[in-house]
Amino acid sequence: MLLIPFLRLAVPRGAAALIAASLVVSCATSSDPSQTPQGQSAATAADVNIERVVLQAYRAIGDRHLYEPNFRALSADSYRGFASPDPALALVASDGRYTVMRDGREVISRPTPTDPADGRAWGAMLAELMAGSMDASPVLQQTDRQVLIRDALTAATHDLDRNTRYADPEEARDNRFQRDGGGGVGITVERTDDKKIIIRAVQAGAPAAKAGVQAGDQILAIDGESMVDRTLSDVVERLRGGIGTPLVLTVLRNGGAEYALSMKRGKIIPTTVTYERRGDVALIHLTGFNSATTESLKAAMDKARADLGPGMAGVIIDMRSNRGGLLDQAQTVSELFIDDGTIFSTAGRHPDSRRVYKSSGSKASDLPIVVLMNGGSASAAEIVAAALQDRGRALIVGTTSYGKGTVQTVVRLSNEGELILTWSRLQAPSGYTWNELGVLPNVCTSKVTDADHLGAASLDTSQGTLMRWHALRNPTHQEVETLRKLCPPGEGSPEADVTLATRILHDRALYAHAVQAAGQQVAAH
């Protein structure tokens, strides 16, 4: 299964808002068949074999990374990350040998492999250095094995690219929940400045909603155990559990009455699609791409048609600050609006990374579409936006997107952590890649802020910039920097974007003029 990662845009571990049983992340990549049995709990510190994890990671990097890695530099940095808890340890790296010293005395020395791209050989050598260091260092022996792995693989992945990274077991479980769902009750919780755990949202139809939980409730206890002054991650962990298992949630409502609400955990997949009626326009907020996104979007479109009837003017798909998600969902979401032909393609070093993704040819919606984007729109969101723009199925309004045009594969490691590894580049139907560059909107809201001043002339001017943008195949850093200044990426979600989008949908001639120009752009390539 291929996905698109959440990259550096993931919500930090310390952020306040969490979906029960999950950090709010959007990832995407491809899952390696795990060498850890399905459903096995996270390895304890005593069970973790550091050397095995390093060998797995190095083998995957050598086989799959987008670019051929230099393990000579990678291994030195990886060892130094691993040994960082003990300042007495030092690595002496020469062209032909790596030697570990502790307090000036040799601990272990090994010859380096001759091929700097041989991940298996370098991983084996590094594992021996680590094992020898553990034997010689009381500091490392007393350090949590998961911390040593995290420090080693974080240092290694930092050398590869900005989207390759290591997720420790806790974060990896959160990532898997966000992608595929899991046992939970369906609430979003937040820890306030005064250390209260407040329920900020309740998912419709989820166990919590059926039990009577309300947004604004304060969580006091779970199964009779007080959650007062507990960390947010502790509370979320307690809310998780096997599907069908019972849970009693004690809440304080409006600062007054207490309620003990009983429920059973269900299969929870975080909500990524919400529909809002705006007159004769359907405004659909698309916040991520998980395993339920396409079906949820279909349901939202059906509801919009039922609400608005034949007078429906069109659809606004709001993907501002959508950080991405599963690759297959980016494809199937695009297929809802594109009848046939190429949606996107991928190319990398590994043979399996080279693919062309095409629509199945089924009848797609022919409603006019405007997509809203900003500088926080990344990954799978950029796939959909680039495909709809290139194929003349939608106009994009907003600012230049993040520029995450690579695909990651998720390798599940034996310690229950994950290596999120870049393995291919994405290309739009017209052939350009938006990595680093981003997807350029047809209407840049930093240039057109007044809906009444929007016309064919301003769209034609934007089209010329778009042609320059798409003509680049391997832009230099300076070219990327110059082009992104033409429509600087913004982080906000102003109502003015929605107003502009609505104006375009109501002017059918203007909309048709713009999408025809976009279609000619693809034909020219």
SS3 18: strand
What are 76's two structure tokens?
């030195």
For this structure, is 390 an active site residue? yes
d(CA 49, CA 131) in angstroms, rounded, equals 10
Contacts of 158 (CB under 8 A, 6+ apart): 77
Assess contact for 286 and 309: CB atoms under 8 A: no
Distance in Å from the first CA to the final CA of the chain: 30
HEC states along 104-172? CEEEEEEECCCCCCCHHHHHHHHHHHHHHHHHHCHHHHCCCHHHHHHHHHHHHHHCCCCCCEEECHHHH
Q: Are strands 443-444 and 395-398 parallel, antiparallel or unpaired?
A: parallel
| Residue of 379, 401, 424, 462 marked active site | 379
Dihedral (CA of 161, 334, 412, 352) sign: negative
| Residue of 321, 404, 424, 497 marked active site | 404
**Residues 270-300, buried b or exposed e (16+ Cβ, 10 A)?**
bbbbebeeeeebbbbbbbbbbbbbbebbeeb
d(CA 426, CA 347) in angstroms, rounded, equals 7
What are 113's two structure tokens?
């492999």
Assess contact for 397 and 504: CB atoms under 8 A: yes
Assess contact for 485 and 446: CB atoms under 8 A: no
Longest dimension (CA), the chain: 81
d(CA 128, CA 149) in angstroms, rounded, equals 14
For this structure, is 430 an active site residue? no
Contacts of 82 (CB under 8 A, 6+ apart): 50, 130, 133, 148, 149, 151, 152, 155
- Residue with tokens 């291994």, as numbered in its chain: 75
**Residues 173-204, buried b or exposed e (16+ Cβ, 10 A)?**
bbbbbbbebbbbbbbbbebeeeeebbbebbbe
For this structure, is 217 an active site residue? no
d(CA 385, CA 364) in angstroms, rounded, equals 16
* Amino acid in position 488: P
- Please give the backbone phi and psi of residue 328, each rounded to the nearest 5 degrees, phi first: -65, -30
| Residue of 32, 151, 217, 390 marked active site | 390
Residues with catalytic function: 379, 390, 404
